[in-house]
Amino acid sequence: MIKELTPIRFALCMMIFAHHAYSYAAGGTAAVAAFFILSGFCLTLGYKERIMSGNFNYIDYLKVRFAKFYTIHWVTLLVFVIIAFCAGELILNKRLLLTNILLLQSWIPEKLYYFSYNAIAWYLSTALFAYLCFPMIITMLHKIQLKQRIGLFVAMLIAYGAVAYAMPTEDYHAMLYVNPVCRCVDFVIGIYLAEWLTSIRSERICKYNWIFDLGLIASFVALNIVSMRLSDDFRMIGAIFWLPACSMIFCLCLASKTQSPLSKLLGSKFVQKTTACSFSMMMWSICLINMLEAMNMANGVRGGGDNILRYVCRSND
């Protein structure tokens, strides 16, 4: 695994935190698109060889994924419920709670469901589907020839574009931003990117490794700028961020291969240790924001930040 990816995950998590805490426009959509691409990329690097060699146990793979996803989800869900209860904002809804506990909320195209309780858990619900499909996707891709793989990739992009074009803008959030099937496109792009990068021979890589450092920085900046210049509706289209996100991962990997100055910094022990908690930080960020929100409400002050408590169901059914 490429260790320099750890601080990149941390930076993306900070973007998401800034989005929820300070309404930073680029934080949510751009970072989420990059996360899904990065997930497909990292899983391919970590599991492809084992899947192709037959040294892969799907049950063990699922155990690891379920343990990682459900453990932190259930803990943060419990904390969120306690916070919401203390703030006087909680009315439990059986259907909402059940879909949330099982991580099925992103399949229901209603904000009340997919943003219920600890709202950021929708990401786990969506990513879980991609993780479940991953071994089958890898197996399928390696059963077909290169031309067929390229054709399948192009067809997938065309289908995504057609769906986005035909869909009303008010459905973008539920279907393009949250829906597991549409988000799986980002994930598959990460798989293709990993396949391509691993095929590049080291001797063909430019020796002027500082170029990759500049590319990495420029791609990260572009990822933020592109999102800030879009309207709220069009910011939901993940395809807009594919190029800067893929460029960022591409430049980072080549920088790592050539041991560029920036890759050495990102790979240092200090940076690795201080950025290693990105996944946990992402899951706890909304809980932290709502702790502060609950304290404000206890003092009679409402507003500030992205008050996800308003998405907790207030009906009695």
* 120-151 burial code (b ≥16 CB/10 A, e <16): bbbbbbbbbbbbebbbebbeebeeeeeeebee
Q: What angle do CA 245, 249, 250 make, to 5 degrees?
A: 110
Q: Are 23 and 16 in contact (CB under 8 A)?
A: no
Q: What whole-number distance in Å separates Cα of residue 47 and Cα of residue 115?
A: 31
The pLDDT value given to residue 298:
53
Confidence (pTM): 0.88
Per-residue exposure over 216-244, b if at least 16 CB sit within 10 Å of its own CB, e if not: beebbebbbebbeebeeeebbbbbbbbeb
Quick one: how far is CA 94 from the chain centroid? 27
Distance between CA atoms of residues 73 and 71, nearest Å? 5
Structure tokens at 66: 């379920």
Cβ atoms within 10 A of the Cβ of 23, count? 11
From first to last of its 317 residues, the chain has per-residue pLDDT tens of: 678 888 888 888 888 888 877 777 767 788 899 999 999 999 999 899 888 888 889 999 999 888 888 988 898 888 878 877 776 666 677 888 899 999 999 999 988 888 888 788 899 999 999 999 999 999 999 888 888 989 999 999 999 999 988 998 888 988 999 999 999 999 999 999 998 888 776 655 666 778 888 999 999 998 888 877 777 777 788 888 999 999 999 999 888 888 888 888 888 888 878 777 777 777 777 667 766 665 555 555 554 444 444 444 333 34
Cα gap 192→39, rounded to integer Å: 12
Alpha helix (H) residue ranges in 146-241: 146-166, 180-199, 210-228
Q: Cα–Cα distances in Å, from 32 out to 55, 189, 190, 233, 314? A: 31, 14, 13, 15, 28
**Cβ atoms of residues 58 and 35 within 8 Å:** no
Residue type, 280: S
The Cα–Cα gap between 308 and 54 comes to 44
> Which pLDDT score is estimated for 93?
79
Residue 107 near residue 95 (C-beta atoms within 8 A): no
Enumerate the domain spans of the chain. 9-311
